Chain A
Amino acid sequence: MEFFERFAIPHPSPAIYASMVAIAVVSIGIVVGLTYFKKWGYLWREWLTTVDHKKIGIMYLISALLMLFRGGADAIMMRAQLATPDAKLLDAQHYNEIFTTHGVVMIMFMAMPFIFAFMNLIVPLQIGARDVAFPRLNALSFWLFFVGAMLFNISFVIGGSPDAGWTSYFPLAGNDFSESVGTNYYMLALQISGIGSLMTGINMCTTILKMRAPGMTLMKMPMFTWSAFIANIIIVFAFPVLTIALLMGTTDRLFGTHFFATTNGGMDMLWANFFWIWGHPEVYILILPAFGIYSEIISTFSRRNLYGYKSMVASMVLISLLSFLVWTHHFFTMGQGALTNSIFSITTMAIAVPTGVKIFNWLFTMWKGKIRFTVPMLYSVAFIPLFTIGGVTGVMLAMSAADYQYHNTMFLVAHFHNTIIPGVVFAMLAGLTYYWPKFFGFMLNEKIGKSTFWLLTVGFVLAFFPMYITGLDGQARRMYTYSEATGFGPLNMVSFVGAALMAIGFVTIVYNVYYSYKNSPRNIGSDPWDARSLEWATHTPVPEYNFARIPQISSSETFWDSKKNGHQLFKGELKEIHMPNNSGVPFIMGVIFFIAGFSFVFALWVPAVIALIGILVCLALRSFEQDHGRHISVEEIKETEAKIGGAK
């Protein structure tokens, strides 16, 4: 019995027991359902072993939406607790756990898979490729992310959630002050999914550099591909820092090293330093693909080519460099001197310049355009002013002397939500609506989509703008309650109302998917938005080989050229297509990684070592495996093409 005590929750509550029951019921339900409908084989063949970038993208998408609701539940609990002074809904410990998991889930397990979903779905189509450069590595990336997310999510029912904040600063995150295994979960789950992200970064860079269709020079790539390229370069350079920092943190917690301890030559501030050397570029990893999606949408629905293509590219390249030069602005108050703070203040303000260039480019794209206010366009139009407000408050925070006033107040919380929600979340929802017909064969309902948009926008403004005021008045972040005398009560209630509106908004998305699945027409053709770039040139639904013939590229809007200027996209005869084989190894490796991670969390060395050996065995097997892929014959291609809308 003593063995099992370690798995107990150190700080249980009825809500957690209810979650345990719910998780058990849902898991049993899934297993029973799959068995009853005889779907195990289908699941294994079509999804678990797939190496198709489109299916992997869809799995990323589903995971991201699930995690959005997980993180959203955390958010609504926090806002409910803070809605009134001296509330008793959550105690301090639960509040700590909830803001920690909210941050980690939303950044690592919602926003990251969301951008990976779009990179997987769109990039190969936009560059006229048949898959990514390393399809099996791509599957492994997904499964590592997925088991990382699952490992993190079981923490609140087995052993206790991390409670040291999503930044997990030492010495608070050390064994002395975080005794539960929660922070072990943090270290291991982020490590596993971080390895997956790093592999995606290498995979996408290679894909974009090496697999573009003939005629597509770098400066003829569609803007989303450019943004994905830059984001992946940042991933390749930033994530190793996180990997090492997490490794050092793990050894501190599990093996008694003193990297981040305050004694024996350790340096606790080194963690904050490493964390933000990764963490600031991470912000741009998220926002750049979002900018790319906005660029595609704004140009499509303004019926104009993107204004200032070259300056867009140049500003992203500049951002990718500057993003590595600003990390200290996350801890201006840590105690370094005025010289350092001044240097990093200036670099931080400098980043506003290329970002401003992009804002003006979008405005000029819309200028004199024939704007259609569809749902994706609404998100994009709302993004520009809202994100600009977030950017301006960012410049306020960038002034290191003034930052002493705002540091770790609600003003900061308002600022980064003000950039991430209109910046990233709106982009993801806009992209979801925009690309939905390409991958699912029907449009999402516009009317419901518009009410979602208004609920989210109004909810967002109500939820976060009051925080600017309470923050300036001195309400600290991460405080689980406040007294009535502070006067923060009414504005926090407004925030709660806003958060509730946003929650309703997210539920309407689910309803929209259900409603549109039932009611939307299926004969929408392959180009329902009258779009401009190459991903719309192939059929809907996209065949597994993407393009029967590899397209010939003339410009960054080559599909528009083919529609309006008579450019011939597909030339020549059909040829045999070489495709990669499916493989179960990535999924199995994912499972082994999960076992390894779980064993490390609880310091169960025997299964941990066995699992690590299992990983090495998988790697060795892959090295000796002979797999040359398979070929799709010309007859098969003709058959498929005829079935899904005739050969073009």
Chain B
Amino acid sequence: MKELFPAKQVMGFVFSLILTAVALLVYFTDMSFHMGMTILLVTAFIQAFLQLVVFMHAGESEDGKSIYTNILYGIIIAVVTVFGSLLILIWDM
């Protein structure tokens, strides 16, 4: 019976509900803009990663390694692009 119960998926579902609830707090409570944005960004990234791993089954197939390499490469490019642009156009202008 234990193998049939999708514990990982149920846990993932509960956790994603919690994340959604936390994100909703930003709307329903009165907090500063920076605080709210920080919470939204953090919960959004955790949520996306959770969906990818638990429900889109990244890493479960034989090319799991290349999927994670790809994601890492994408994150590096995105971070470089965003912070590079900020450096060029705002911080060092």
Tell me if B93 is interfacial: C-beta within 8 Å of chain A.
yes
Q: Across the interface, do B63 and A327 meet the contact criterion of CB distance under 8 Å?
A: no
CB-nearest residue of chain B relative to A324? B77
Known: A328-B84, A340-B87. A209 touches B66 (CB 8 A): yes
Q: Which residue from B81, B85, B92 sits with its C-beta under 8 Å from A337?
A: B92
Residues on B with C-beta less than 8 A from A339 are 92
User: A329-355: which residues lie under 8 A (CB-CB) from chain B?
Assistant: 334-337, 339-340, 343
Residues on A with C-beta less than 8 A from B89 are 267, 269-270, 273, 336
Q: Across the interface, do A324 and B85 meet the contact criterion of CB distance under 8 Å?
A: no
Tell me if B68 is interfacial: C-beta within 8 Å of chain A.
no
Per the bound structure, the CA–CA distance linking A343 and B74 in Å amounts to: 21
Question: In which size bucket is the chain B interface?
Answer: 10 to 19
Per the bound structure, the CA–CA distance linking A84 and B27 in Å amounts to: 68
Tell me if A325 is interfacial: C-beta within 8 Å of chain B.
yes
Q: Across the interface, do A237 and B84 meet the contact criterion of CB distance under 8 Å?
A: no
Tell me if B25 is interfacial: C-beta within 8 Å of chain A.
no
CB-nearest residue of chain A relative to B70? A233
Tell me if A77 is interfacial: C-beta within 8 Å of chain B.
no
Per the bound structure, the CA–CA distance linking A335 and B92 in Å amounts to: 9
Per the bound structure, the CA–CA distance linking A467 and B85 in Å amounts to: 32
Q: Across the interface, do B63 and A209 meet the contact criterion of CB distance under 8 Å?
A: yes
Tell me if A241 is interfacial: C-beta within 8 Å of chain B.
yes
Residues on B with C-beta less than 8 A from A273 are 85, 88-89
Tell me if A127 is interfacial: C-beta within 8 Å of chain B.
no
Chain B interface, >50% SS class: helix
Q: Which residue from B63, B66, B81, B93 sits with its C-beta under 8 Å from A324?
A: B81
1/0 contact string of A306-340 vs chain B (CB within 8 Å)? 00000000000000010011011000001111011
Per the bound structure, the CA–CA distance linking A277 and B84 in Å amounts to: 10
Q: State the Cβ distance, A532 to closest chain B Cβ, in Å.
A: 28
Tell me if B73 is interfacial: C-beta within 8 Å of chain A.
yes
User: B44-93: which residues lie under 8 A (CB-CB) from chain A?
Assistant: 63, 66, 73-74, 76-77, 80-81, 84-85, 87-89, 92-93
Residues on A with C-beta less than 8 A from B92 are 336-337, 339-340
Residues on B with C-beta less than 8 A from A237 are 73-74, 77
Per the bound structure, the CA–CA distance linking A316 and B30 in Å amounts to: 51
Q: Across the interface, do A328 and B81 meet the contact criterion of CB distance under 8 Å?
A: no
Residues on B with C-beta less than 8 A from A334 are 88
Per the bound structure, the CA–CA distance linking A267 and B87 in Å amounts to: 14
Q: State the Cβ distance, B68 to closest chain A Cβ, in Å.
A: 14
Per the bound structure, the CA–CA distance linking A337 and B89 in Å amounts to: 10
Residues on A with C-beta less than 8 A from B66 are 209
Q: State the Cβ distance, A388 to closest chain B Cβ, in Å.
A: 28
CB-nearest residue of chain A relative to B74? A237
Q: State the Cβ distance, A218 to closest chain B Cβ, in Å.
A: 10
9 chain-A/chain-B pairs, Cβ below 8 angstroms: A233-B73, A241-B81, A277-B81, A277-B85, A328-B88, A336-B92, A337-B93, A340-B88, A340-B92
Query: Contact residues of A with B, CB < 8 Å?
Result: 209, 233, 237, 241, 267, 269-270, 273, 277, 321, 324-325, 327-328, 334-337, 339-340, 343
